[in-house]
Amino acid sequence: MIKVKNLGKEFTTPQGKLTALQNISFTVVEGEVFGIMGPSGAGKSTLVRCLNYLERPTTGTIQVAGRDLATLNPRELARVRQQMGMIFQHFNLLKLRTVAQNIAFPLEIARWPREKIKDRVEELLNIVGLTDKAQAYPHQLSGGQKQRVGIARALACRPRLLLSDEATSALDTETTQSILGLLQHINRNLGVTIVIISHELAVIKQMAHRVAVLSEGQLVEMGTAAQVFTRPHAAATKRLLTTDTLAPPVRSQPLSLEPALAVGEVI
């Protein structure tokens, strides 16, 4: 679904060139949850921003569904981006728009007809369990509710892929669990492939089928979650695992979905 080959990214700063990513190659397979972890500054956000060309790679290629993003014109790129929803740590909601209007926003940009937007927004509110908050404004919501709006907005155009950059890092443990439950539901029941980035190992451990470890802009390890967490090879991974001992333990019981999510909605 996504093929990254020899990706490199340099930034020009007042202090000179900064290499944020170097020679990164990996593939994200349709249907999986692919986790990217690594310490602060390792290049995780830069990598995820390259995946949808919010950031242009300096070297290397990114193919999405067989198409090299570098060869697309702006219109084609916009269309591919609609296939890739993105959620953020700080939600990035529009303050002056209601929940329903926030969710409608990408559909307006994609020029959906008004009636279809209304139906789709209702469907999305139901998926994320916020039907009763449709007319609320972002400042009237809790952090978890704001992230649910962010997720609904990211799913609006029926993307095949969801990019999640530290989506739960601003949330408490319980709210994190409910958001991770929602993301698992979206992956399993709606068939959306997810790339999840987190510096919280517990989140990656709980969510990801396969894991890549970034350290100082390089991909130092990749494997199944079981391999990476129980038999890490790279020194950077070992460091990450040992310095994370203060983090709360991963919950062993299955995630509970909220009632609104238990039905198998179709996106």
Ligand X SMILES: Nc1ncnc2c1ncn2[C@@H]1O[C@H](COP(=O)(O)OP(=O)(O)OP(=O)(O)O)[C@@H](O)[C@H]1O
Interface residues with ligand X (CB under 6 A) are: 11, 13, 18, 20, 38, 40-46, 199
- Total number of residues binding Mg ion (CB under 5 A)? 2
Q: Which stretch binds Mg ion (CB under 5 A): 41-49, 67-75, 134-142, 250-258?
A: 41-49
Q: Which does 253 bind (CB under 5 to 8 A by kind): ligand X, Mg ion, none?
A: none
Q: Which is nearer to ligand X, 156 or 240 (CB)?
A: 240
Q: Which stretch binds Mg ion (CB under 5 A): 39-47, 111-119, 151-159, 168-176?
A: 39-47
Q: Which does 20 bind (CB under 5 to 8 A by kind): Mg ion, ligand X, none?
A: ligand X
> Cα separations (Å) of 48 from 45, 199, 229?
5, 14, 22
Min separation Cβ 215 and ligand X, Å:
10
Q: Which does 13 bind (CB under 5 to 8 A by kind): Mg ion, ligand X, none?
A: ligand X
Three-class secondary structure assignment of the chain: CEEEEEEEEEEEECCEEEEEEEEEEEEECCCCEEEEECCCCCCHHHHHHHHCCCCCCCEEEEEECCEEHHHCCHHHHHHHHHCEEEECCCCCCCCCCCHHHHHHHHHHHCCCCHHHHHHHHHHHHHHHCCHHHCCCCHHHCCHHHHHHHHHHHHHCCCCCEEEEECCCCCCCHHHHHHHHHHHHHHHHHHCCEEEEECCCHHHHHHHCCEEEEEECCEEEEEEEHHHHHHCCCCHHHHHHHHHHHHCCCCCCCCCCCCHHHHCCCCC
Q: Which is nearer to Mg ion, 45 or 147 (CB)?
A: 45
Min separation Cβ 50 and Mg ion, Å:
13
Q: Which does 11 bind (CB under 5 to 8 A by kind): Mg ion, ligand X, none?
A: ligand X
Q: Which is nearer to ligand X, 41 or 143 (CB)?
A: 41
Q: Which is nearer to Mg ion, 42 or 154 (CB)?
A: 42
Min separation Cβ 243 and ligand X, Å:
14
Binding test (CB under 5 A) with Mg ion, winner from 2, 4, 34, 45: 45
Catalog residues that contact Mg ion under the rule CB under 5 A.
44-45
